Amino acid sequence: MSEILPEDKPKLLIVSDTAMYGKDDLFYARAPVVSEILALSPLFSQITWIGFNRPDLVDNPSLSLVQDKNIKLIFLKKCGGDSFVDKLEVLLYTPWMLWMIAKEIFRHRVVYTRAPSSPAFLATLISFIIPGKIFWHKYAGNWVQETAPRFFTIQRDLLKRASNSTVTINGQWPGQPKHCLSFENPCLYTSDIEKGRQILQTKSFRDPLNFCFVGRLEAAKGVHWILQAFQQLKTNKRIGALHLVGDGPLMNECIQLSTSVDFSVEVHGFQNRTEVARIMANSHILLLPSAAEGFPKVIAEAANFGCIPMVSNVSCIGQYINHEENGFLLQTASLSHGALVKAINTLPDADKLQSIAKKASQLSNAFTYEYFVKRVTSKILQKVDP
């Protein structure tokens, strides 16, 4: 395998449903995705990125500036929803979306789709009939979820048949097709790893313990169970504070919790990655009792900053977290606020927690942007023509 030389850098097309918008000749997109794309940028001479236009998110802190002149954004009309009218709108807009995507695929050597999403689905269909391109499809959902939404299941089945492409997925599974590679989603820089090691050296796990949740404040993420559990734990002396980071439909309920418990409840809303890292560094346990996941980046981020994951055993999470060794697993068959209460009430002593945190931090290296780029180069790009 030959290394990609500067003069050999190809053009990359990214097809996604990522929220993005333009303002004052500047472009913004979802912050975590921006970080990943910026990490990939040095591998390519130019990047064209297709996503959904979201002017309603102007100045929303969850979107960040795309600071790379080699990245051009193409906006698709945001459409979709649960109503009949919403579904009809998607149907009517699909031919135009298909044309926009197909046109750009013809202009690029490498095509990277981010699934599950409607644009990625259309690009995957095109990949079956256009030879001579390098297609890389990333499926971010649960690869083995039996109760996935119908569209997710259709898209996943299509990717299983896309043997002319490379498909990257969360976890390793029996019967996994050869073209489907297990890939970690990056979320850390090597500088984060070093900072995490320094934090862990001085972090104390003696009571009181601080807990945190990072994500969308909704029932799908198990936030309702967190609220019910901490209401029941309201006089637990081991709890120092509960930090809730994010926004969503349960925001008001989260705020109301602070009025009925003896410990501090801080609802931070959406925060940038620097502030999230600070909150994790000051917390001891990450809570994520969600019913469905792929592999949440927040697990690796928290583990890096000495915050022990207490997470649902869904998808491939159990392939990374071993119960009471480098975290705590909540079994989905008995997932409830009661299970969360029991897990918190039976947390081990400070020395054991310190040991678990150190082992959890060892996850970090597999989730760096540097490692991600190295694997993309060797496993997906190899030697390509411009």
- Model pTM score: 0.91
* Rounded-to-integer distance, Cα 214 and Cα 246, Å: 6
State yes or no: cis peptide before 116, omega within 30 of 0: yes
The pLDDT of residue 5 is 45
CA 269, 204, 323: angle at the middle one, nearest 5?
75
The pLDDT of residue 386 is 52
The pLDDT of residue 382 is 82
Fold for domain 6-186+368-381?
Rossmann fold (3.40.50)
Per the listing, tokens 């998110």 go with 57
The pLDDT of residue 384 is 58
* Rounded-to-integer distance, Cα 280 and Cα 305, Å: 6
The pLDDT of residue 150 is 92
CA 375 to chain centre: 18
The pLDDT of residue 16 is 97
- Give the CA dihedral 301, 304, 309, 315, nearest 10 degrees: 60
Q: Domain-by-domain residue ranges, the chain?
A: 6-186+368-381, 190-364
Helix/strand/coil for 75? strand
* Rounded-to-integer distance, Cα 73 and Cα 290, Å: 33
**CATH of 190-364 given 2.40.128.260, 3.40.50.300, 3.40.50.410, 3.40.50.2000:** 3.40.50.2000
Length of the chain: 386
Exposure string (b/e) for 234-273, b if CB count within 10 Å is 16 or more?
A: eebeebebbbbbbbbebbeebeebeeebebebebbebbeb
Per-residue pLDDT tens listing for the chain (386 residues): 344 445 579 999 999 999 999 999 899 999 999 999 999 999 999 999 999 999 999 989 899 999 999 999 999 998 777 777 777 887 888 999 999 999 999 999 999 999 999 999 999 999 999 988 999 999 999 999 988 899 999 999 999 999 999 999 999 999 999 999 999 999 999 999 999 999 999 999 999 999 999 999 999 999 999 999 999 999 999 999 999 999 999 999 999 998 889 999 999 999 999 999 999 999 999 999 998 888 999 999 999 999 999 999 999 999 999 999 999 999 987 889 999 999 999 999 999 999 999 999 999 999 999 999 999 999 999 855 55
Q: Phi, psi (5° rounding) for residue 110?
A: -120, 135
The pLDDT of residue 291 is 86
The pLDDT of residue 111 is 98
Maximum alpha-carbon separation in the chain: 64
Query: What DSSP character marks residue 327?
Result: B
Helix/strand/coil for 205? coil
204: left (phi over 0), alpha (psi -120 to 50) or beta: beta
Within this chain, domains 6-186+368-381 and 190-364 share the same CATH topology: yes
Helix/strand/coil for 329? strand
